[in-house]
Amino acid sequence: MAYRNLEIAHRGAVRTITVNRPDKLNALNRDTLNKLTLAFAQAAQDDAVRVVVLAGAGEKAFVAGADIAEMHGYSTVQAQAFSRAGQRLASAIERLGKPVIARVQGFALGGGMELAMACHLRVASEKAKFGQPEINLGLIPGFGGTQRLLRLAGRAAALELCLTGAPVSAQRAYELGLVNRLVPPEALDEAVNALADQLAATAPLAAAGVLDAVLTGGEATLDQGLEFETQTFALLFATGDMREGTAAFMEKRKAAFKGE
């Protein structure tokens, strides 16, 4: 399926979804948000897809934020709907049930940083910039930025980035725990592809279990999280992948997981 403002590419079990508005620094208008939501829903339903990479077209930006020209004329009701659309997309990414990697080059600001934080892993160019500049527009983050930033980097970092609106370097983002891997610009694609291939080779049901357990545990008490982990651990013993993985280990060979 073709999507306006998006490019979809495949490499084995890895699907890359690229926001393709380079003339607007890949800014997110309502139509692009809706198309991204559909694209991720399709990826969730396609068993051939084991990993998704989210990227931005061009070298200047991953996603530079929301489309301010479109937002400027919004009423309160329209703004609320826009925020909820962004939050729906971020939640769809976070709860996809398959690993999602953000490939970040250039600017990841506002809604762009919020989408990157919704991804499970972030690989960034050393030249990338991260920030929540909404306060400079008389606003606050609306796509989940205050909440995911708090959970990923802690209260002090969330308040600093959201109150000052100042962007931080990729190195600073790495130090705050917002970036998993930091690489030279020329090595970005190689690093993203290597990580995606590694994840695509893992057991899909186990990967989904890890994602569910970490997300559930982050919003639960320790005892509740431990119980969820136990139940997920036990359920995976009913899968063919568990039998294949343990057999491969004992037979000293590479496992061939089928997601069954």
Q: How many CB atoms lie within 10 A of CB 58?
A: 16
Q: Cα(62)–Cα(40) distance, rounded to whole angstroms?
A: 17
Q: Give the active site residue among 70, 94, 126, 134.
A: 134
CB 209 within 8 A of CB 237: no
pLDDT at 1: 60
6-200: in CATH 3.90.226.10: yes
Residue among 114, 126, 175, 219 flagged as catalytic: 114
Domain-wise residue ranges, the chain: 6-200, 204-250
What is the pTM assigned to this prediction? 0.95
Note the CATH number of domain 204-250: 1.10.12
In tens, the pLDDT along 26-69 reads: 999 999 999 999 999 999 999 999 999 999 999 999 999 999 99
114 is catalytic: yes
CA angle 166, 170, 173 (to 5 degrees): 70
pLDDT in tens, 165-201: 999 999 999 999 999 999 999 999 999 999 999 999 9
Give the whole-number percent of the chain exceeding pLDDT 70.
99
Active site residue 186: no
Under 8 Å between Cβ of 211 and 229 = no
